[in-house]
C-alpha cells in the first residue's frame, strides 16, 4: 500500500485499515490517525480492532419527531396522556404504548432512554444534534454518526459502502454527511427498497467491453494521480472502484430474493421492505444503515397519525429486532431509534402535539447496551426529566462505545486534533452493558 502524497501537501485523512491491523509504523504518516491508539498498537488492540470491524449500527430516524407519549414513555390517564393505554412488555415493570404490541414482546432486547433533554425544538438543528452529537455552529462542521461509524467500523473488502441511508422516496445519490472525514464516508442513498440507481450494467455493453473501459480509465487515472493527487481525486477514484464492487454485489439490495415468509413477517409496508433490506445490508458487511420513517410532525390530529405510523413501525421494527436476535446478529449490531425531538405533553386545540425537546425518549438495542432496561424517568405528566437526564452528546458517545469505539479519542485533521465526540459529554455508562 502506497502512502498518499498529495499535490496540495496535505496527507490522507483516512485511517488505513490494513496498516491499522498490522501495526505498521507507517500509520504515523496518516493524518487521520487516532490519538492514543495507533502509535502503540499491540496484539490485544489489534484483536479488539478486528472485533470492532464486525460491529454494525442501524439508526431508525423517526422523521418529524416521534411522540414519546405514544411510544416509549406513555402517561395514560393523566392530563397529557392522550387516548392510548400502556401495555406490559416482556420485561416485568416496563410498560410502553399500546401502539407497540409487537415491540413490547421484544422489550427484553431493548434499552429505553426516557430522560432525553436536548433543549432544541427546531427540526433541522435537532436532527443535526442527534446525528452528530454536537450543536450546530457556523465555525465547524461535524460528521454524522453514519460517517463516523463507516470510518471506524467498515471493512472495505466487503465491496459494499460502509454508510447507507434508506430514504422513503427518491435517493440514488450520495449524501454530504461526512464533513472533515471526506466524501468517502458520506452515505449512498437508496430510494426505498430499491438498489442504487444505475448499478446494473447496460445490456448493450459486453463484459469484455466493460473490462477494457475500466482498464483505460485506470491507466489515465494513474497518470493523472502521479502528478496531481489530492483527497478529492482519491475520493473520485474510490467512488469508481466502490461502484464497480457494488455492481458485482447488486443482489444484496434485492429484497425479492428473500423468502415469502420473511416478507410476510416484515409486513407489506415500505418500512417493512426497508427493514428487510437493512438486515440484508448488515449481514453482508455494511457497517451503518439509516432507515427513515416519515412522518411524525403531528401538530394536528396527532393520535390518528400515530395510530397509522407507529402501527406500521411496530411490525417492521419488532420483526427486525427478532430477526437480528435469531440470526445471532444483535450482539454485534446496535439499533437506535431516534428523532430530532419528542412531542409536547400538552395536547393542543386540534388534537395535536407540538415540538418538545425537554423530556423525551429514544430506544436502543443490541451490541454493548443493556437489554431489557429503561434508563431515566420523567415526571407524572411527562413534562420534565426527573432522573437519568442525558442529551445528544451523551447519546453520541454511548453509540460509539456500544460498538467498541473509544469515543474519547481524537482524529488529526489538517494538523488539528478533533475529538471524535463532544468532549463536554460522555457515555451514559449505566446504559452500557
Partner 1 sequence: MIDLDIQKSHVIHQWKADSPLIACRISPRGDQCVSAAQDSTLQRWNIPGGEKVVLKGHESWAHALTYNTTGDLLISGGCEGRLIWWSIADAEPKAIRTIDAHQGWIRGVERSPDGQTLVSVGNDRTIRLWKTDSGEKLAEWSAHDRHIYSAAFHPDGVHLLTGDLMGKIHVWKLADRTLVRTLDGSTLYGPNPGQAAEFGGVRSLAISPNGTEVFAAGTHKGSNPFGAVHEPLLLRFQWTDGALTKSHVCDGIPGGLLFRACSLNDATVVSVSGGSTGGILLFFNATQEKEVHRAMLPNIARDMDFHAATGLVASAHHDSHLRISGLFA
Q: Which of 119, 197, 295, 430 binds partner 1 (CB under 8 A)?
A: 295
Which residue's CB is nearer to partner 1, number 177 or number 297?
297
Which own/partner contact pairs does 165-169 have at CB distance under 8 Å and 24+ positions apart?
A: 165/189, 165/190, 165/289, 165/290, 165/292, 166/190, 166/192, 166/193, 166/274, 166/277, 166/278, 166/289, 166/290, 166/291, 166/292, 167/191, 167/192, 167/292, 168/192, 168/270, 168/292, 168/293, 168/294
Exposed/middle/buried for 207, CB within 10 Å: 0-12, 13-18, 19+?
A: exposed
Q: Which of 156, 297, 391, 422 binds partner 1 (CB under 8 A)?
A: 297
d(CA 149, CA 162): 8
Which residue's CB is nearer to partner 1, number 240 or number 303?
303
Position 172 contacts partner 1 (CB under 8 A): no
What's the DSSP call for residue 140?
A: B
User: Are 88 and 95 spatial neighbours (Cβ–Cβ below 8 Å)?
Assistant: yes
Q: Which of 85, 211, 228, 416 binds partner 1 (CB under 8 A)?
A: 85
Joined grid coordinates for residue 280? 440484508
Nearest to 61 by CA among 149, 151, 153, 128: 128
- Helices 123-132, 392-402: axis angle to 10 degrees equals 30
Q: Which of 76, 191, 192, 388 binds partner 1 (CB under 8 A)?
A: 76
- Contact region for partner 1 (CB under 8 A) — 72-80, 200-208, 211-219, 250-258? 72-80
Nearest to 130 by CA among 146, 114, 154, 150: 146
Q: Which of 294, 379, 383, 410 binds partner 1 (CB under 8 A)?
A: 294
Q: Which of 194, 214, 299, 377 binds partner 1 (CB under 8 A)?
A: 299
- Contact region for partner 1 (CB under 8 A) — 211-219, 256-264, 347-355, 423-431? 347-355
User: Whole-number minimum distance, CB 308 to partner 1, in Å?
Assistant: 5
Position 124 contacts partner 1 (CB under 8 A): no
Position 83 contacts partner 1 (CB under 8 A): yes
d(CA 147, CA 385): 31
Which residue's CB is nearer to partner 1, number 46 or number 307?
307
What's the DSSP call for residue 179?
A: G
Round the CA-based radius of gyration of the chain to a whole number and report it. 22
User: Whole-number minimum distance, CB 87 to partner 1, in Å?
Assistant: 11
Position 307 contacts partner 1 (CB under 8 A): yes
- Where would I find the beta strands (DSSP E) of 1-145? 56-63, 86-88, 95-97, 110-116
User: Whole-number minimum distance, CB 20 to partner 1, in Å?
Assistant: 41
Which residue's CB is nearer to partner 1, number 106 or number 302?
302
Position 347 contacts partner 1 (CB under 8 A): yes
Residue 304 DSSP SS3:
helix
Which residue's CB is nearer to partner 1, number 240 or number 351?
351
Q: Give Cα 2 distance to the centre of its chain.
A: 31
Backbone angles phi, psi at 191, to 5 degrees: -85, 100
Exposed/middle/buried for 203, CB within 10 Å: 0-12, 13-18, 19+?
A: exposed
Position 380 contacts partner 1 (CB under 8 A): no
- Contact region for partner 1 (CB under 8 A) — 19-27, 143-151, 297-305, 367-375? 297-305
- Contact region for partner 1 (CB under 8 A) — 26-34, 188-196, 200-208, 342-350? 342-350
User: Are 410 and 419 spatial neighbours (Cβ–Cβ below 8 Å)?
Assistant: yes
- Contact region for partner 1 (CB under 8 A) — 14-22, 38-46, 74-82, 126-134? 74-82
User: Whole-number minimum distance, CB 199 to partner 1, in Å?
Assistant: 25
Interface mask toward partner 1 for 50-69; x: CB under 8 A: --------------x-----
| Site of interaction with partner 1 (CB under 8 A) | 64, 76-77, 79, 82-85, 168-169, 294-295, 297-301, 304-305, 307-308, 347, 349-352
Amino acid at each position: 500500500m502506497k502512502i498518499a502524497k498529495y499535490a496540495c501537501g496535505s496527507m490522507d485523512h483516512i485511517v488505513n485499515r490494513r496498516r491499522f491491523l498490522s501495526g505498521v509504523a507507517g500509520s504515523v504518516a496518516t493524518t487521520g490517525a487516532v490519538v492514543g491508539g495507533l502509535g502503540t498498537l499491540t496484539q490485544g488492540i489489534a484483536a479488539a480492532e478486528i472485533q470492532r470491524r464486525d460491529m454494525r449500527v442501524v439508526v431508525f430516524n423517526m422523521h418529524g419527531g416521534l411522540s414519546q407519549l405514544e411510544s416509549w414513555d406513555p402517561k395514560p390517564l393523566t392530563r397529557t396522556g392522550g387516548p392510548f393505554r400502556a401495555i406490559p412488555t416482556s420485561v416485568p415493570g416496563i410498560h410502553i404504548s399500546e401502539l407497540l404490541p409487537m415491540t413490547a414482546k421484544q422489550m427484553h432486547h431493548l434499552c429505553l432512554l426516557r430522560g432525553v433533554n436536548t433543549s432544541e425544538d427546531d427540526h433541522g438543528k435537532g436532527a443535526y444534534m442527534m446525528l452528530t452529537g454536537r450543536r450546530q455552529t457556523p465555525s465547524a462542521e461535524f460528521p454524522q454518526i453514519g460517517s463516523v461509524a463507516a470510518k471506524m467500523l467498515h471493512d472495505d473488502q466487503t465491496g459494499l459502502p460502509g454508510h447507507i441511508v434508506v430514504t422513503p422516496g427518491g435517493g440514488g445519490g450520495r449524501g454530504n454527511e461526512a464533513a472533515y472525514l471526506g466524501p468517502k464516508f458520506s452515505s449512498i442513498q437508496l430510494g426505498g427498497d430499491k438498489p442504487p440507481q444505475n448499478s446494473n450494467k447496460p445490456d448493450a455493453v459486453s463484459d469484455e467491453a466493460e473490462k477494457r473501459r475500466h482498464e483505460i480509465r485506470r491507466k489515465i487515472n494513474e497518470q493523472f494521480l502521479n502528478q496531481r493527487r489530492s483527497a478529492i481525486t482519491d475520493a473520485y477514484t474510490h467512488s469508481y472502484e466502490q461502484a464497480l464492487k457494488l455492481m458485482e454485489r447488486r443482489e444484496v439490495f434485492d429484497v425479492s430474493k428473500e423468502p415469502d415468509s420473511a416478507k410476510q413477517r416484515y409486513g407489506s409496508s415500505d418500512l417493512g421492505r426497508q427493514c428487510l433490506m437493512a438486515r440484508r445490508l448488515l449481514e453482508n458487511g455494511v457497517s451503518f444503515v439509516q432507515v427513515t420513517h416519515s412522518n411524525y410532525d403531528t401538530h394536528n390530529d396527532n393520535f390518528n397519525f400515530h395510530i397509522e405510523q407507529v402501527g406500521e413501525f411496530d411490525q417492521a421494527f419488532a420483526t427486525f429486532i427478532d430477526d437480528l436476535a435469531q440470526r445471532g446478529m444483535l450482539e454485534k449490531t446496535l439499533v437506535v431509534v431516534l428523532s430530532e425531538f419528542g412531542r409536547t405533553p400538552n395536547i393542543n386545540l386540534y388534537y395535536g402535539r407540538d415540538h418538545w425537546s425537554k423530556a423525551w425518549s429514544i430506544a436502543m438495542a443490541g451490541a454493548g447496551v443493556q437489554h431489557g432496561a429503561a434508563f431515566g424517568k420523567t415526571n407524572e405528566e411527562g413534562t420534565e426529566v426527573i432522573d437519568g437526564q442525558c442529551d445528544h452528546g451523551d447519546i453520541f458517545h454511548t453509540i460509539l462505545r456500544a460498538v467498541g469505539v473509544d469515543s474519547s479519542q481524537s482524529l488529526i485533521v489538517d494538523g488539528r486534533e478533533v475529538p471524535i465526540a463532544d468532549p463536554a459529554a460522555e457515555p451514559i455508562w449505566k446504559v452500557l452493558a
